[in-house]
């Protein structure tokens, strides 16, 4: 078991302690570990203590955890099935092999190209700047708007990726979707695009993404790059304000699920807040993450079902419909583990936007985890086009999903 585990772990390019950029003897070493946690409650409990769960295989949760937290979990009686200091892991893969992925400059160049090729349809804008001063780019696809700001009566939808630095595939997915929507000559797609106000924000956390690749070796970095705490970074997907800090996130700034000193403490989440609040026509949101092949819908901060039965019925129908197309597993977010402060709970709980998280491929850490290689990019984009078109169509009224027969051609009316 251990041998197999080590072989698989070596697929992760994780060369050193993320905190080593601020090396002090007191900074705990990050570990990759497996812990027996067979129920959602036990998984929530270990997340609460600072364990960042990345995948669940049978009764074991795998993820990153500061060494001191792992020691404490052991003392509490948790069975640790495997653990490995990050610094012991040698990368087996080289970023050169992954040249198909877009770094920050390449992403901007690609967005510029799309705007140049489709000036009447595509409008580039900045949502604001990151901790390190990078612009967070957004692309608006709207056939009747003159620019990124002009008002519209059309129903809106937003796709986003890259909240978590190492989840590079989650940047490629919305970027690939943008390209598809602009390039398609399918009359049904053209008609759909003409009827909607579509926003694509491929990389919410460019500082983190750049840090992850900058040294030429992947850093398995998750958070943003706030540098004024002992260990750098805030988990942006724990920093939104809805039920912030109520479970499944950590006050320990060395944890990968550090919630930040207060809700919306980070310029990246502030930028998202400003953007989403300024667009009342937005009715649907999809935040791409990796990995595990899941379709998640609220709530994430509580095991309770949504109290709005009409919304819940629509969410369930939408999730199962999309799952039949991409083969992912649909579930309420908290069935995995409770986590508070994420994008989707806030967007739905505060703004009423129908919000999903997709955990993209691979479906387990045997497939390369956060670094699944170049071959998966186009497959993932293709697999998720139909779900994306379905959501775009439903942006006028997601409740329409409930009465829609499974076989309905969801666009092209």
Chain contacts with ligand 0X9 (rule: CB under 6 A) = 54, 164, 167, 237, 289, 296, 300, 333, 336-337, 339, 342, 345, 357, 359
Smallest distance, ligand 0X9 to C-beta of residue 54, A: 5
Catalytically annotated residue among 210, 266, 293, 359: 359
85 strand-pairing partners = 31
333 binds, among ligand 0X9, Zn ion, none (CB under 5 to 8 A by kind): ligand 0X9
**Spatial separation of the C-alpha atoms in residues 195 and 212, rounded to whole Å:** 38
Q: Which is nearer to ligand 0X9, 26 or 307 (CB)?
A: 307
300 binds, among Zn ion, ligand 0X9, none (CB under 5 to 8 A by kind): ligand 0X9
Torsion of CA 7, 12, 13, 18, to 10 degrees: -120
Of residues 396, 280, 296, the one with CA closest to residue 343: 296
**Spatial separation of the C-alpha atoms in residues 177 and 384, rounded to whole Å:** 9
Give the binding site for Zn ion (CB under 5 A).
164, 167, 289
Residue nearest ligand 0X9 (C-beta atom): 300
Q: Which is nearer to ligand 0X9, 102 or 289 (CB)?
A: 289
Q: Which is nearer to ligand 0X9, 15 or 247 (CB)?
A: 247
Angle of helix 309-326 relative to helix 376-394, nearest 10 degrees? 150
Smallest distance, ligand 0X9 to C-beta of residue 412, A: 32
**C-alpha 345 chain-centroid distance:** 13
210 binds, among Zn ion, ligand 0X9, none (CB under 5 to 8 A by kind): none
Q: Are strands 282-290 and 156-160 parallel, antiparallel or unpaired?
A: parallel
Smallest distance, ligand 0X9 to C-beta of residue 249, A: 9
Contact 339, 249 (CB under 8 A): yes
Those residues whose C-beta lies under 8 Å from the C-beta of residue 101, and which sit 6 or more positions away, are 168, 169, 171, 172, 374, 377
**Spatial separation of the C-alpha atoms in residues 30 and 72, rounded to whole Å:** 14
CA dist list (Å): 165 to 74, 161, 348, 371:
29, 10, 24, 12
Query: Tokens standing for 183?
Result: 């390039």
Of residues 102, 100, 162, the one with CA closest to residue 127: 162
Smallest distance, ligand 0X9 to C-beta of residue 257, A: 7
Smallest distance, ligand 0X9 to C-beta of residue 341, A: 8
172 binds, among Zn ion, ligand 0X9, none (CB under 5 to 8 A by kind): none
**Spatial separation of the C-alpha atoms in residues 157 and 138, rounded to whole Å:** 13
Q: Which is nearer to Zn ion, 226 or 289 (CB)?
A: 289
Q: Are strands 197-201 and 156-160 parallel, antiparallel or unpaired?
A: parallel
Smallest distance, ligand 0X9 to C-beta of residue 289, A: 3
Q: Which is nearer to ligand 0X9, 220 or 237 (CB)?
A: 237
Rounded to a whole number, what is the largest CA-CA distance in the chain? 63
Contact 291, 376 (CB under 8 A): no
Residue nearest Zn ion (C-beta atom): 289
CB neighbour burial string for 374-389, b if at least 16 within 10 angstroms, e if fewer: eebbeebbebbbbbbb
Smallest distance, ligand 0X9 to C-beta of residue 240, A: 10
Q: Is 359 a catalytic residue?
A: yes
Contact 199, 403 (CB under 8 A): no
Q: Which is nearer to Zn ion, 154 or 296 (CB)?
A: 296
Q: Which is nearer to Zn ion, 175 or 189 (CB)?
A: 175
The residues annotated as belonging to the active site are: 359
């Amino acid at each position: 078991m251990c041998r197999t585990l080590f072989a698989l772990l070596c697929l992760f390019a994780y060369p050193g302690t993320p905190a080593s950029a601020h090396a002090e003897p007191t900074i705990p070493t990050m570990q990759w570990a497996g812990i027996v946690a067979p129920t959602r409650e036990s998984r929530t409990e270990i997340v609460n203590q600072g364990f960042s769960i990345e995948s669940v295989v049978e009764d074991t949760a795998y993820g990153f955890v500061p060494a001191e937290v792992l020691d404490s979990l052991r003392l509490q009686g948790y069975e640790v099935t495997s653990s490995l200091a990050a610094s012991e892991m040698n990368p087996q893969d080289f970023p050169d092999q992954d040249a198909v992925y877009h770094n920050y400059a390449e992403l901007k160049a690609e967005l510029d190209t799309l705007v140049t090729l489709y000036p009447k349809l595509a409008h580039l804008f900045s949502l604001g700047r990151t901790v390190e001063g990078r612009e967070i780019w957004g692309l608006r696809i709207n056939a009747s708007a003159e620019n990124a700001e002009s008002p519209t009566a059309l129903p809106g939808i937003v796709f986003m990726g890259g909240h978590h630095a190492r989840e590079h595939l989650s940047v490629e997915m919305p970027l690939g979707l943008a390209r598809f929507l602009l390039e398609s000559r399918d009359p049904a797609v053209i008609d759909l695009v003409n009827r909607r106000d579509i926003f694509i924000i491929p990389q919410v956390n460019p500082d983190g993404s750049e840090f992850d690749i900058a040294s030429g070796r992947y850093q398995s970095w998750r958070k943003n790059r706030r540098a004024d705490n002992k260990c750098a970074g805030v988990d942006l997907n724990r920093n939104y304000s809805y039920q912030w800090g109520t479970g499944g996130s950590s006050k320990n700034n060395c944890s990968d699920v550090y919630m930040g000193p207060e809700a919306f403490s980070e310029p990246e989440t502030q930028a998202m807040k400003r953007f989403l609040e300024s667009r009342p026509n937005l009715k649907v949101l999809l935040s791409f993450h990796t990995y595990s092949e899941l379709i998640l819908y609220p709530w994430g901060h509580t095991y309770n079902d949504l109290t709005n039965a009409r919304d819940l019925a629509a969410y369930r129908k939408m999730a199962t419909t999309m799952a039949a197309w991409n083969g992912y597993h649909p579930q309420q977010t908290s069935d995995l583990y409770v986590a508070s402060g994420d994008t989707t709970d806030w967007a739905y709980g505060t703004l009423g936007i129908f919000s999903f998280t997709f955990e993209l491929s691979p479906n387990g850490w045997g497939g390369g985890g956060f670094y699944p290689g170049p071959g998966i990019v186009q497959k993932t984009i293709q697999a998720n086009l139909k779900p994306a078109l379905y959501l775009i169509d439903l942006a006028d009224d997601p409740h329409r999903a409930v009465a829609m027969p499974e076989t309905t051609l969801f666009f092209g009316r």
